[in-house]
Amino acid sequence: MGILRIGHASLRVMDMEQALRHYEHVLGMKRVMEDADGHVYLKCWDEWDRYSVILTPADRAGMNHVAYKVERDADLDELQGRIEAYGIATRMLPEGTLPATGRMLAFALPSGHEMRLYAHKECVGTDVGSLNPDPWPDGLRGAGAHWLDHCLLMCEFNPETGVNTVADNARFMAEVLDFYLTEQIMVGPDGAIQAGAFMSRTNTPHDIAFVGGPSSGLHHISFFLDSWHDVLKAADIMAKNRTRIDVAPTRHGITRGETIYFFDPSGNRNETFAGLGYLAQRDRPVITWSEDKLWSGIFYHTGEAVPSFTEVYT
């Protein structure tokens, strides 16, 4: 019972033509459909469900919602009861609210971000199929991203006033949605304030993460690549396409991932990353990063602050 994995992210973009050029030719996603309202749906080659990214025409960038897939349709009813008992209002959206998708349970996290849960989305298969598949398909474009892997959400955080929606989200995700904490950033007197929380439902170091900031928003959505070499190649592709790079290829201390951060044309931050990092398990001790080693946790090689990384988000 419960949540299996991330399902999709719905993003606002200000120029659809430029956005599609980015997600198709830089990341290597495939456009699968467009609805009557101009929303465009895309998937990566190694994903089997119909889509994992929705692009919505808008006058500002940011995230509409992030969705996670649950195991069974009946889980939605059970989770609705648990979420409402926690004190958070929910809406059950009917099948077909999004194309090729069953009913969805929608609610706002304590940080204000909209999350949706669903059980059914049309399975179309990966680009290599499931019978005697090749390791990768011919005709890959751009970075050849395998799948949408996780998202990091910025959460309103002001220790002086006692506002800490990072900790509020982490508590809700653990107590109600059965995520578990893998790593955390602790700051303030005696390191008692949780300023970052990395949480999982699978065996990867994070399926979702929360970090504190002046206001809530989207920090990034992340796409999986095979190796460090693929991260470097992705950087080459971004340079060739004049993609705005935020942080050049490096390694995280947190999660140990190999990474590059960059922006789509509207300013939504993306990441391509490689490496499992470590095998996450519920009984594995939580890794804690102290305030004095915060930037080593974020960028292990230099341990130096990159102001745009925490100050710029949508």
- Annotated catalytic residue: which of 65, 113, 206, 219? 206
Q: What is the mean pLDDT of residues 299-310?
A: 92
Look up 206 and say whether it is catalytic: yes
Query: For the chain, what are the domain ranges?
Result: 3-118, 148-311
pLDDT, tens digit (0-9, with 9 covering 90-100), for 266-293: 999 999 999 888 999 999 999 999 999 9
- Annotated catalytic residue: which of 219, 252, 258, 313? 252
| Token output for 263 | 């922006």
Mean pLDDT value across the chain? 97
Angstrom distance (rounded) from CA 64 to CA 288: 31
| pLDDT at residue 4 is higher than 90 | yes
Look up 261 and say whether it is catalytic: yes
Single out the residue of 108, 116, 58, 138 nearest to residue 314, CA to CA: 58
pLDDT at 185: 98
Q: What is the mean pLDDT of residues 97-117?
A: 98
| pLDDT at residue 1 is higher than 70 | no
Look up 252 and say whether it is catalytic: yes
pLDDT at 275: 84
Q: What is the mean pLDDT of residues 124-143?
A: 96
- CATH class of the 148-311 domain in this structure: alpha beta
pLDDT at 102: 98
Q: What is the mean pLDDT of residues 130-152?
A: 97
- Parallel, antiparallel or unpaired: strands 148-158 and 217-225: antiparallel
pLDDT, tens digit (0-9, with 9 covering 90-100), for 47-102: 999 999 999 999 999 999 999 999 999 999 999 999 999 999 999 999 999 999 99
What are the φ/ψ torsions at residue 113 (nearest 5 degrees)? -65, 140
Q: What is the pTM of this model?
A: 0.96
3-state secondary structure of 161: coil
Q: For residue 221, what pLDDT band results from cuts at 50, 70 and 90?
A: very high
Strand locations in the chain (E): 3-13, 30-34, 40-43, 53-57, 62-70, 90-93, 104-108, 114-118, 148-158, 163-164, 180-187, 193-200, 208-213, 217-225, 245-251, 258-263, 269-274, 287-290
- Annotated catalytic residue: which of 261, 278, 291, 300? 261
Report the chain's terminal Cα–Cα distance, integer Å: 33
- Annotated catalytic residue: which of 68, 220, 258, 313? 220
Single out the residue of 209, 205, 204 nearest to residue 194, CA to CA: 209
Angstrom distance (rounded) from CA 25 to CA 17: 12
- Annotated catalytic residue: which of 47, 183, 258, 271? 271
pLDDT at 162: 94
pLDDT, tens digit (0-9, with 9 covering 90-100), for 228-264: 999 999 999 999 999 999 999 999 999 999 999 999 9
Within its chain, how far is the Cα of 35 from the centroid? Answer: 23
Angstrom distance (rounded) from CA 154 to CA 211: 5
Look up 271 and say whether it is catalytic: yes
3-state secondary structure of 233: helix
In CATH terms, the fold of domain 3-118 is 2,3-Dihydroxybiphenyl 1,2-Dioxygenase; domain 1 (3.10.180)
Q: Are 31 and 24 in contact (CB under 8 A)?
A: yes
